[in-house]
Structure 1
């Protein structure tokens, strides 16, 4: 596994040649773990701030509805920063994956432009989130005010961005799982597993 990660990090800008399935998927696993670790690191301050707000409110005798409103308001204040950093991390991970995915496509005798399609869908999903960010933060604030219907209506507008992101992941999973072509193909010799 470490060999696959080192190989892919060294070959981050190399779009020629072929990568075996095992090499590709170990690298994908590394990137997923990295992305979740960053996401968890971002969540801790947000949850800590919300819990601190709840504890202070409870100590001052706030009612349940007021506590919920205070927690949602605090989370809304962190949400924009979290969404920006998460989008940046997601874009970086997508860029780190492109060359490896192209080599994986080559190993199954498929053209590398398919990786460009997946990257384009992923970037479109991020742009969509950036465009709708203010609405989503406002929806959180509406939820803090108790208007959950309006908050859910705004969240349903995020469906298109979510579907774009899932479509990109589906392309990577389907084409990344394709069998390698045995022996040499038009992209070179059979790849070595790491």
Structure 2
């Protein structure tokens, strides 16, 4: 494990060369777990803000809200479309975007070197990155941009749904490429780096 971290941190911005599965996967798994934990921080803040807004709205407008309480459960159902209750979406998106960019800076070169190990170009990452960027940029717009009828913009919702399906497909392809066996011996990206 320590060798994997030493290998990847020493080559943090080195896009050339190759990385074996043993050099790549311990580092990548820890980075993925750290990214999930780091993303949970702005997500939990945003969910708590949204729920507090919903509770406040329910208290101020009891005719437009249904509050249900039971042993171990509490729910608030709001009638109509009220995007103002989803305040903080921009801040959440910015926080999540910063975490994703940091994750990509810490793992991007490692993923490219892993692709090189199976004699593939780093350009294979592009569809995943583009669809991820579209999803991060488009989701706040979905919440903050009602249509002329005051409803959520269904066309934008459909586009983001399609984008996310393409993203998940490209993520699956990327995972399959990253677990693929490396090319034995030398390939067009050179020999595997020892260590």
Please report the TM-score for the alignment, with normalisation by the length of structure 2: 0.71
Counterpart position of 2:42: 42
Counterpart position of 2:115: 105
Q: 2:119 aligned with 1:96, yes or no?
A: no
Corresponding pairs, count: 183
Report the alpha carbon displacement of residue 104 of structure 1 after superposing the two structures with TM. 1.4
Structure number with the higher helix fraction is: 1
Q: 2:123 aligned with 1:116, yes or no?
A: yes
> 2 CA distance for matches of 1:163 and 1:157?
10
* C-alpha distance 33-169 of structure 1, shift in aligned 2 (>3 A): same
Structure number with the higher strand fraction is: 2
Q: Secondary structure at 2:78's aligned position in 1? A: helix
Report the alpha carbon displacement of residue 136 of structure 1 after superposing the two structures with TM. 0.8
In structure 2, which of residues 78, 83, 105 is the aligned counterpart of residue 69 of structure 1?
78
Where do 1:126-145 residues align within 5 Å? 126-129=132-135, 132-133=138-139, 135-138=141-144
Q: Per-residue CA shift, 1:85-141, capped at 9, x if unaligned?
A: 223322332343332122212322x13x3x2231x22332244236534541136x7
Mean Cα deviation higher: 127-136 or 53-62: 53-62
> 2 CA distance for matches of 1:127 and 1:36?
17
* C-alpha distance 160-95 of structure 1, shift in aligned 2 (>3 A): farther
Report the alpha carbon displacement of residue 75 of structure 1 after superposing the two structures with TM. 5.1
Q: Secondary structure at 1:157's aligned position in 2? A: helix
Please report the TM-score for the alignment, with normalisation by the length of structure 1: 0.72
Calculate the aligned-residue CA RMSD, in Å.
3.4
